[in-house]
Each structure stands twice: as structure tokens, then as C-alpha cells.
Amino acid sequence: MTVSDAPPTMNDVAREAGVSVGTVSRYVNGIAVKDASRQRVEAAIRKLNYQVNSYARGLKTNKTYCAALILPVLTLPFFSLLAEEVTAALNRKGYRTVLMITNYDPEAERTCVSMVRQNKMDGIIALTYNPRTEFDPTIPLVSIDRRCEASRTCVSSDNYRGGEMAAERLLALGCKKLLFLRIGSDVSSEVDKRGIGFETACKTAGADYEMLILSDSETNEPFYRYLREHTADGVPDFDGIFCNTDRLALQIQRKLAELGVRVPEDVQLIGFDGVPDYLTGAPACSTIVQPVAQLAETAVNALLNADADAAPSLICLPVHFEAHGTTRE
């Protein structure tokens, strides 16, 4: 074992391994390199006892290769899949993901933002429910589903088109009286467009429809009351329902079963999300599928280009319909 005066550098590792400095850099930043190269770099690192000092690197290049992912919760399937995909997409770019969960608490969102600033992270991907959270204008930010500030990029599914597709599909399947059901935040967001697209398509088709939107209800009870009051002897006066999420669609399906209403025979039901159910590996209802992996990939690419002059304000990705038993086809 030799003792040298200066610690080994990335150049020394590259020379020892017989690869380019770029390859060593990619390896060190956690970006995939060819297996053969990786093995040689690892052997050279071991032989030279090379130590990357990311902190010194952070000071020097002003980059920490660390991005924050701010989500309200992790225990809804859309959020856990999104977190998994964002983590993978950041990792492919050599970035680590710092996970921050806010539980919908505006105070927690502010704490997250100040942690990002204090720790000089390189950027934020946020799905926030609080329009008043102030994001540091010097920190790159991409939002998902909710626009934070006009100058920032928001990435979302094409919610408007998804709403249209749901209405068009229910009508094409023979439904005569449509309902739209939504429960959730009254914070304005891209998600609102699911209902707006649906309503527009209903009007265009001259269809009979009703929009049931609860903003601050804690429970689905008002929906259940509506379903009961509009069902006589197991026969409902509606025959097509578009729910804002798959979760709500599945809850409504259970309630209809209790009322003796059959899905899809009596009522056809379409949800929104399309995240594979953990028991079956497929969505649990007919649904408008969000392209979660592409949302993550797009958000990460937008984040790394967030200082570009002409950053888009909104990037919408295409959705598609999939039948999974709650529609007749």
C-alpha cells in the first residue's frame, strides 16, 4: 500500500480504470454506466481509496444533486406510484430525492420550502394544496397538477381531455343520464378540468347530466344520499357516473351494490387515475389512465431545464381510457 501526499482525484481514478473522466463522473453521480466500466471504476476507487466529497463538490459547483419531492400523503395509490416514478427518474439523472410529506398542512409546506433553501437543494417537485405557500424564486420548481406561480412549469395529465373522454364514452355506451362526482380541495387546480371537460362534452352532445361537487365535505355521505334519493326499488334515474378518482368510483360502486343497483348492468362507472390495484395488478374499475411514469419523467426534465428562458407554464400529457369491468364492453 502506497502513501501519497495528495488524495487521489477523479483523474487518477479514470487513469487507473482506463476509462474517461466523464465515465467516472457519471458513476460518482449515480448515473448508470456500462457494467464493464462500472466494475473497472469500482476497482480503481477501491485500489486508490478514492473518496468523493459531495459536500466539497456542493460548495464548488453550487450543486447538491438533491431535489425535494413534496407530496401531501404517500398512502394513496396515485401518490405512492408517483413518488416511486419521480425517485426513479431523478435517479436516472444522477439526483437523489428528498421526500417531504405535508399531510395537507400549509405550515408543513412552508417548513419544507425553508428546508430546501437552507440545505441548498437543487430544486423542488411539488404537489401542493396550499396556494399561499411562497416558493423561493431562486429555486427551480416544477409543480404537478396544481399551478403554483405563473412563471413556473406545471406538469399534469390532460385532465380536460380525460373528462371529455369519460362523457363521450358513457354516451357511446348508451347512457342517458350522466353524473359527475367529485370530493376534494376547493383550491383551484388542473384537476378541476376533469369536471369542466366532462361538462363541456355533455353540453356538446345535448346530454342530460348533473354535476355533484363537494368541496369541504369530510365524507361521501351527501353523494350516498343523492344515490338513495334517486333510486326507487333498485332502479336509479341515472345510468352513467364519472368520478373524479378511481378511489371515489370504487366507493360509489360499493354503495350502489348496497342499494341493489348493478354495475355495469344498471349503471356504468368510470374513474380517473388508472393506478394498478395492488391485488390484481390492473386498475380496479373502468378509468381514464394517467401516464404516471411519463408525468414523473417530464417533471424531472422540466426541473432540470427550469431556468430556460421560455419554460412552458403547463405541460399536459395524454391520457387514455381503459375498460375494467364497470362499463359494458
Using rule CB under 8 A, residue 98 touches its own copies = yes
Using rule CB under 8 A, residue 139 touches its own copies = no
Query: Which set of grid coordinates corresponds to residue 74?
Result: 404517500
Closest distance to its own copies from the beta carbon of 251 (Å): 6
- Footprint of its own copies on residues 243-262 (CB under 8 A)? 247, 250-251, 254
Size of the site for its own copies (CB under 8 A): 46
Q: What pairing do the DSSP bridges indicate for beta strands 153-157 and 141-144?
A: parallel
Instruction: Kindly tell me which residue out of 4, 75, 206, 216 binds its own copies, with binding defined by CB under 8 A.
Output: 75
- H/E element, 317: strand 314-317
DSSP tag of 281: S
Please, where are the H alpha helices in the chain? 10-17, 21-28, 35-48, 54-61, 77-92, 106-118, 159-172, 192-205, 221-229, 246-258, 292-304
Angle 70-122-27 from CA coordinates, rounded to 5°: 110
Using rule CB under 8 A, residue 138 touches its own copies = no
Name the segment binding its own copies (CB under 8 A); options: 10-18, 47-55, 152-160, 184-192.
Answer: 47-55
Instruction: Kindly tell me which residue out of 120, 203, 228, 328 binds its own copies, with binding defined by CB under 8 A.
Output: 120
Which of residues 53 and 215 has its CB atom nearest to its own copies in the complex?
53
DSSP tag of 37: H
Using rule CB under 8 A, residue 53 touches its own copies = yes
Please name the amino acid found at residue 33: V
Closest distance to its own copies from the beta carbon of 203 (Å): 32
Give dist(CA 207, CA 167) in Å, integer: 9
Using rule CB under 8 A, residue 141 touches its own copies = no
Name the segment binding its own copies (CB under 8 A); options: 83-91, 124-132, 138-146, 222-230.
Answer: 83-91
Using rule CB under 8 A, residue 214 touches its own copies = no
- Give residue for cell 431556468: 307
Count Cβ atoms below 10 Å from residue 171 Cβ, excluding itself.
18
Residue ranges that bind its own copies, judged by CB under 8 A: 28, 30, 52-56, 58-59, 64-66, 69, 73-77, 79-81, 83-84, 87-88, 91, 96-101, 111, 114-115, 118-120, 247, 250-251, 254, 275-276, 278-279
